[in-house]
Structure 1
Amino acid sequence: MPHRYFILNKPYDMLSQFKGVPSMRMLGDLGIDFPEGTHPIGRLDNISEGLLILTTNKKVTRLLFQGPKTHARTYLVRVIREVSEDTLQQIRSGISIRIKGNVDYTTAPCEASIVVPPENLFAAGYSFREDLPHTWLRLSLTEGKFRQIRKMMKVIRHPVQRLIRVSIENLSLGDLRPGEIREVNEKDFFSQLNIEYSPDYQD
């Protein structure tokens, strides 16, 4: 049977999994009738939002995140206080963070810019004091250590208030509202992720 591919706008305060933590909201609580064997790829933590891939194809994780070719993941990030050009350059060049095993790790160079949040940005389900200084950033990374962006921003004293993944390569969130999904046909899915399609990807 052909595999199926979906993108979801994962809401705030929801785990990127279908079962395992009864006390928290999970993907099954969306009430969407996914086909059997559907699982998330490239998870977001529960307080992050945005683009989450779901598919019945178990090979996608290896092709997208474990192969030699890197794939850019782009985020809109709201942080506390105004970010200077010097700090932007620090983000672009790499920041030392602590990762699993209590190891110091310098993040890979990435793209970073200050942006105006898009007009169609949906409410997060929680509010901020808009009168306090803050900055919206657009960050594009080719790696994804656990809570990497949050750790990077904490090190440079601009803690994250909101984090939204808007695209992976050319596969974008578009106008999906939180909790909505869009199905993508197989060839478009691989093309937009810049993965060369092969029939061998079928189980």
Structure 2
Amino acid sequence: MSSLYLLHKPYRVLSQFRDREGRSTLADLIDIPNIYPAGRLDYESEGLLLLSDDGELIHRISHPRHKQPKTYWVQIEGEPNESALKALRDGVVLNDGRTRPAKVRRLDIPDAAERYPPVRQRQCIPTHWLEITLQEGRNRQVRRMTAHVGLPTLRLIRVAIGPWRLDGLQPGEWRHDTLHAPAKTRTAPDRRARRFQR
């Protein structure tokens, strides 16, 4: 039996528990001893982060060999034409090689929590939303992919990792799941969202 914590990491919070520069970290959000994140989210990205005290579970979730799909809501600057969407779906060549094919679809404005500070809007340039699902996790990959096709990312929210989803967690909130290995089913005895109070 393993404990897994699903956290909605807010904008401008590091995916670690300490920072010498005094920036916000996970310690400001969740006060559970001996847990570690299974993977990372960039400082300026938001959304689902999985944490556990089980090293084997962390490895299973985060190791590229297990290919956990990751789904993002991406606010982009500009109009996504079919050529750009096809390039993202087929894979684009970045400085560290060609990306794997991705699932990409246009998205209506999602029901996402407000971001603080909000995204800067430019009146003469429209913004749109995409849903992008990747089977790999290179550094800043989504941002680099959209920039490559001329659609800079303004806001990035990870909404799912494999079978785990944000499911209404607000920024800074988390919930606990209990996983029973090796079965693939899981139970969640306490799914109430919690916000750590300092």
TM-score, normalized by length of structure 1? 0.84
Who is 1:48 aligned against? Answer: 45
Cα-to-partner distance string for 1:28-83 (whole Å, 9 max, x where unaligned): 112x321x210111100110000000100111232123263322100000011010
Q: Distance in 2 between matches of 1:74 and 1:129?
A: 24
Cα-to-partner distance string for 1:143-194 (whole Å, 9 max, x where unaligned): 000111111111111111000000012210010000000101113997379x
Alpha carbons of 1:49 and 1:63: their partners in 2 closer, same or farther (altered >3 Å)? same
Who is 1:198 aligned against? Answer: none
Who is 1:152 aligned against? Answer: 145
Report the 3-state secondary structure (helix = DSSP H, G, I; strand = E; otherwise coil) of the residue aligned with 1:86. helix
Q: Distance in 1 between matches of 2:10 and 2:185?
A: 23
Aligned length: 184
Whose strand fraction is larger, Structure 1's or Structure 2's?
A: 2
Alpha carbons of 1:175 and 1:27: their partners in 2 closer, same or farther (altered >3 Å)? same
Letter of the 1:64 partner, please give it.
I
Cα-to-partner distance string for 1:71-104 (whole Å, 9 max, x where unaligned): 21000000110100111010000011123xxxxx
Alpha carbons of 1:15 and 1:117: their partners in 2 closer, same or farther (altered >3 Å)? same
Who is 1:184 aligned against? Answer: 177
Alpha carbons of 1:163 and 1:53: their partners in 2 closer, same or farther (altered >3 Å)? same
Give the 5 Å matches for 1:1-203: 3-30=2-29, 32-34=30-32, 36-66=33-63, 68-99=65-96, 105-119=97-111, 121-127=112-118, 128-129=120-121, 131=123, 132-187=125-180, 191=184
Alpha carbons of 1:63 and 1:188: their partners in 2 closer, same or farther (altered >3 Å)? closer
Who is 1:200 aligned against? Answer: none
Q: Distance in 2 between matches of 1:90 and 1:75?
A: 17
Q: Distance in 2 between matches of 1:113 and 1:148?
A: 17
Shift of 1:4: 1.7
Partners of 2:38 and 2:59 within 8 A in 1: no
Q: Distance in 2 between matches of 1:130 and 1:9?
A: 28
Report the 3-state secondary structure (helix = DSSP H, G, I; strand = E; otherwise coil) of the residue aligned with 2:138. coil
Structure 2, gaps ≥5 residues long: 187-198
Partners of 1:171 and 1:189 within 8 A in 2: no
RMSD: 2.1
Report the 3-state secondary structure (helix = DSSP H, G, I; strand = E; otherwise coil) of the residue aligned with 1:59. helix
Q: Distance in 1 between matches of 2:12 and 2:153?
A: 15
Report the 3-state secondary structure (helix = DSSP H, G, I; strand = E; otherwise coil) of the residue aligned with 2:158. strand
Runs of 4+ in 1 over 6 A off after TM superposition: none
